[in-house]
């Protein structure tokens, strides 16, 4: 795991980037008030943490962010055949610009040598994976590259620039948007996939006040069987280690994340949310204030398609 100095510097950089004015007053962000987390804050932090885990696990299970959002390279090649221009007269392509064209994938592994996808402000809406008539929309810029373009595998590099996805309920009464900036890389070594992320997400919508989340962690998946290119991932175990920070209003929380018991990924679990395909395991998020441990948030998974339980224990 990275040193505590790096984790602290990471949070400081985030606070400086926000101008020390999350609420628009001179008091700035408060990292020390209400050190003991209330039940309501544990629930709120736990929900936000699981939303971030959904995006991280989903990209790992579906071979990258575009795969998680049902925009695989094969689908993009159909939309943008050789010789096509970035904008064509269909609802999707009207809001989506892709370059360079034609898309190249010499090793045929579904990860292009280079791809930049820019989503417009309007009309990039699709049916949600969560079903029930809900929808999601995409905005911003996403870049994807294959670090080994002549060797088929799961390796990829991703960059996000104001890349946003908005989920809206079927009746339109509830919605939330996450806008992300940062990088993710995935590397394969035998039956092990390692995803390294440095991402900042800003969450807005009807489900609560705006929050800024920074993830600087490593997610490692170890298959119970061989990882075979072209096949879905087998069942396996997952570990998460690194730093995770949340700013909500004037309040900042800085956590050190570690894996107590590896998370059990069940490939037969049909849950729509990636985090709900975890059937067992435990993560700890240690609340740090000025380098001092103030308590531990435990996140425990208990079965297929079940929300993990959360509990805060003061130091």
Q: Which tens digits make up the pLDDT trace of 249-269? A: 888 899 999 999 999 999 999
pLDDT confidence of residue 124? 76
Task: Name the burial class of residue 83, with classes exposed (0-12), middle (13-18) and buried (19+) by CB atoms within 10 angstroms of its CB.
Answer: exposed
53, 44, 33, 56: which is closest to 310 by C-alpha? 44
In the block, residue with structure tokens 């090793």:
107
Supply the pTM of this predicted model.
0.80
Residue 24 has pLDDT above 70, yes or no: no
Looking at the 3D structure of the chain, how many domains does it have? 1
pLDDT confidence of residue 123? 61
For 160, the 3-state DSSP assignment is strand
Lowest mean pLDDT among 41-50, 62-71, 219-228, 283-292: 62-71
Model confidence at 157, pLDDT cuts 50, 70, 90, reads very high
- The average confidence (pLDDT) of the chain is 82
- The C-alpha R_g of the chain, in whole angstroms, comes to 20
Residues with Cβ within 8 Å of residue 96, at least 6 apart in sequence: 79, 117, 118, 119, 120, 124
As given in the structure block, the two tokens for residue 80 are 């943008």
Kindly state the percentage of the chain with pLDDT values over 70. Answer: 79
Q: What are phi and psi of 306, to 5 degrees?
A: -115, 140
Residue 25 has pLDDT above 90, yes or no: no
**Each residue of 36-86: pLDDT tens digit?**
788 888 888 998 899 889 889 988 888 888 777 767 677 777 667 666 655
Residue 64 belongs to what domain range?
A: 4-314
Residue 129 has pLDDT above 70, yes or no: no
Between residues 30 and 9, the one the model is more confident about: 30
In the block, residue with structure tokens 């993009």:
76
Residue 229 has pLDDT above 70, yes or no: yes
Residue 90 has pLDDT above 70, yes or no: no
**Each residue of 4-21: pLDDT tens digit?**
443 444 443 443 333 333
As given in the structure block, the two tokens for residue 208 are 């609560």
């Amino acid at each position: 795991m990275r040193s505590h100095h790096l984790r602290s510097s990471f949070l400081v950089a985030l606070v400086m980037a926000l101008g020390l004015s999350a609420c628009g007053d001179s008091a700035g962000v408060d990292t020390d008030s209400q050190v003991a987390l209330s039940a309501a804050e544990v629930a709120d932090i736990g929900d936000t943490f699981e939303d971030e885990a959904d995006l991280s696990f989903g990209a790992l299970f579906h071979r990258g962010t575009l795969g998680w959002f049902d925009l695989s390279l094969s689908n993009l090649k159909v939309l943008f055949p050789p010789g096509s221009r970035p904008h064509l007269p269909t609802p999707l392509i009207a809001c989506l610009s892709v370059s360079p064209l034609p898309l190249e994938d010499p090793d045929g592994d579904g990860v292009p040598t280079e791809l930049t996808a820019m989503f417009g402000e309007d009309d990039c809406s699709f049916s949600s994976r969560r079903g029930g008539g809900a929808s999601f929309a995409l905005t911003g810029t996403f870049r994807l590259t294959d670090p080994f373009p002549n060797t088929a595998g799961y390796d990829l590099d991703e960059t996000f620039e104001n890349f946003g996805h908005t989920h809206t309920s079927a009746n339109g009464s509830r919605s939330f948007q996450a806008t992300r900036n940062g990088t993710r890389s995935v590397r394969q070594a035998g039956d092990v996939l390692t995803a390294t992320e440095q991402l900042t997400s800003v969450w807005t919508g009807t489900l609560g006040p705006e929050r800024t989340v920074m993830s600087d962690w490593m997610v490692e998946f170890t298959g119970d069987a061989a990882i075979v290119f072209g096949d879905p991932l087998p069942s396996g175990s997952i570990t998460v280690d690194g730093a995770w920070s949340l700013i909500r209003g004037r309040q900042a929380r800085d956590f050190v994340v570690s894996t107590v018991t590896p998370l059990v990924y069940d490939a037969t679990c049909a849950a729509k949310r990636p985090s709900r395909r975890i059937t067992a395991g435990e993560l700890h998020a240690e609340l740090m204030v000025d380098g001092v441990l103030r308590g531990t948030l435990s996140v425990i998974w208990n079965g297929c398609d079940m929300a993990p339980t959360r509990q805060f224990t003061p130091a």
